[in-house]
Amino acid sequence: MARRIETTCVQGGYTPGNGEPRQIPIIQSTTFKYDTSEDMGKLFDLEASGYFYTRLQNPTNDYVAAKIAQLEGGTAAMLTSSGQAASFFSVFNLAGQGDHIVASSTIYGGTYNLFAVTMKRMGIDFTFVAPDCSDEELEAAFRPNTKAVFGETIANPALVVFDIERFAKAAHAHGVPLIVDNTFATPVNCRPFEWGADIVIHSTTKYMDGHGAGVGGCIVDSGKFDWMAHADKFPGLCTPDESYHGITYATKFGNAGAYITKATAQLMRDFGAIQSPQNAFLLNLGLESLHVRMARHCENALAVARFLSTHDLVAWVKYPGLEGDKSHELAQKYLPNGSCGVVSFGVKGGRKAAETFMKHLRVAAIETHVADARTCCLHPASATHRQMNDDELRACGIAPELVRYSCGIENADDLIEDIAQALETLR
Ligand SMILES: *Cc1c(COP(=O)(O)O)cnc(C)c1O
């Protein structure tokens, strides 16, 4: 019986047997014991499934990864130590030196830096295209050595909605998968696989954990991309891995399991960006209430966005759920039940006014964080981007007066009253 997403949030991934713990056990063990060397050898040959060392796999992590795979409608998933590790693995599992990736230009700044600076140094080239680019521009971005397309369902902090179906079609026309960072929407509000995406990644640090308790990431495979049909592009999946006993992932594990098995056996083995079982346990507690929290985050954000949009001291408001927003049409298509809890807006009076406004907030805290149960906000011009002058800021799409306001799950009237009194100090 297919279960609805709310039930999967609570009960997915782990089904205890008779007399077993109701809550997922935290397997706080680096290693696992075997009776014979033959038994262990089978694990190393990927002939039998089982655990041997927590740098590669741990049962607690796998329960939680299985829940996220069910939430997204995928076939396999792995947890990573952070969202950054998930972004890196998702691309590096497909591309190496001499390869090329097409990415949306409005992605999270940390991802942009990972791609444009660090992975470029590893010999992978990226072409960034505006999410609303013309068909000709999108077509022109592809090269014979392109291995994937990458975008964010709702971009952090640009809050632009990604046209998943359109980019999936373009990727597939070129025989490559679409990878979507679904952090801000979460599977409660959007399931990118239903629109043609092939791989989904998350910074679980945000809404999935939801309480600011643990940094983490996740990668999910839809199981739909046919690697062998494009074997020339993906030798890592479609030819024997000599570093892993000559296994060919795509033939041994099929479309459903090849991508995540390779990422575990190769990338986790070599890079070790594993999530700790403790953090996986905390992440699971967050997932149990994800569907309840997302509804409240979105309700609060829409109320705050509507209030801001009518206020005379506010210059502009950006929120995909707001009528008239540039992304509103795409939001109605991909995010009919709500987008996210983050609203960005500009206060009249520029950089100085934004600083004054934020200093007077009492409910919202100033933090380098978003997507948490507690309302928080950030003024990029005086924090993450403080080395830039106003002109440099505008050149990268961040207005000096921009406030990124992440609505928590408190009472919306308290958030609005707090914003109102802080705005009054600007008169
Ligand atoms: C925060 C974030 C990341 C990076 O995740 P970390 O867990 O901080 O490493 C990636 N993508 C998006 C959309 C994010 O918001």
Looking at 285, 314, 344, the residue that finishes a domain is 285
Between CA 283 and CA 339 the distance in angstroms is 21
Q: How many domains does the chain have?
A: 2
Residue 243 has pLDDT above 90, yes or no: no
pLDDT tens digits, one per residue of 207-228: 999 999 999 999 999 999 999 9
Is there a domain that residue 8 lies in? no
In a domain, 348, yes or no: yes
**302 and 277 share a domain?**
no
Shortest-distance Cα residue to atom 8 of ligand 1: 83
The domain spanning residue 178 has which CATH number? 3.40.640.10
Residues 311 and 259 in one domain: no
pLDDT above 70 (res 1) = no
Same structural domain, 297 and 272: no
For a ligand 1 pocket test, name from 91, 160, 205, 342 the mutation site with the most ligand atoms within 8 angstroms of its C-beta.
Answer: 205
Is residue 257 included in any domain, yes or no?
A: yes
Output the residue whose Cα is nearest ligand 1's atom 2.
203
Which of 108, 283, 339, 378 gets mutated to test ligand 1 (max ligand atoms within 8 A of its CB)?
108
Q: Tell me whether residue 85 is in a domain.
A: yes
Q: Are residues 143 and 125 in the same domain?
A: yes
* CATH classification at residue 419: 3.90.1150.10
pLDDT at position 4, please? 96
Judged by average pLDDT, the poorest of 132-136, 189-193, 289-293, 385-389 is 385-389
Q: Do 135 and 153 fall into the same domain?
A: yes
Q: What is the mean pLDDT of residues 331-343?
A: 98
How far does the centroid of ligand 1 lie from the alpha carbon of residue 406, in Å? 14
Domain annotation covers residue 13: no
**Distance (Å) of CA 21 to CA 18, 62, 135, 202, 285:** 9, 16, 53, 28, 15
In a domain, residue 105? The reply is: yes
For ligand 1, atom 15, name the residue with the nearest CA.
156
Same domain for 296 and 412, yes or no, is: yes
Are 369 and 276 contained in the same domain?
no
Distance 112 CA to ligand 1 centre (A): 11
pLDDT at residue 385, rounded to an integer: 79
**What pLDDT does 11 receive?**
97
Non-local (6+) Cβ contacts of 266 within 8 A are 93, 236, 241, 243, 244
Asked if residue 201 and residue 114 are part of one domain, the reply reads yes
Q: Classify residue 5: in a domain, yes or no.
A: no
Residue 363 maps to a domain: yes
Partners of 202 in beta bridges: 218
Q: Coil, strand, or helix at residue 82?
A: coil
- Boundary-marking domain end, from 285, 308, 341: 285
Q: What is the pLDDT of residue 284?
A: 98
Does residue 348 surpass a pLDDT of 80? Answer: yes
What's the mean per-residue pLDDT of the chain? 95
340: CA distance to ligand 1 center in Å? Answer: 14
Shared-domain flag, residues 386 and 254 = no
Ligand 1, residue 184: give the atom nearest the CA. Answer: 13
What's residue 396's pLDDT?
A: 66
Domain termination residue (choose one: 253, 268, 285): 285
- Pocket around ligand 1: residues whose beta carbon is below 6 Å from it? 82-84, 87, 108, 110-111, 152, 156, 181, 183-184, 203, 205-206, 215, 217
Query: Could you tell me the residue range of the domain that residue 161 belongs to?
Result: 31-285
CA of 12 to the centre of ligand 1 (A): 24
Q: Which of 114, 190, 203, 215 for mutating ligand 1's site (highest number of atoms within 8 Å of CB)?
A: 203
pLDDT in tens, 270-324: 999 999 999 999 999 999 999 999 999 999 999 999 999 999 999 999 999 999 9
Residues 220 and 321 in one domain: no
pLDDT at residue 301 in the model: 98
CA of 84 to the centre of ligand 1 (A): 6
| Average pLDDT value for residue range 63-67 | 98
Q: From start to end of 46-192, where are the E strands?
A: 76-80, 100-104, 125-129, 146-152, 178-181
The CA–CA distances, whole Å, from 313 to 357, 359, 403, 425 equal 10, 16, 13, 10
What's the confidence (pLDDT) of residue 45? 81
Cα 397 versus chain centre, distance:
21
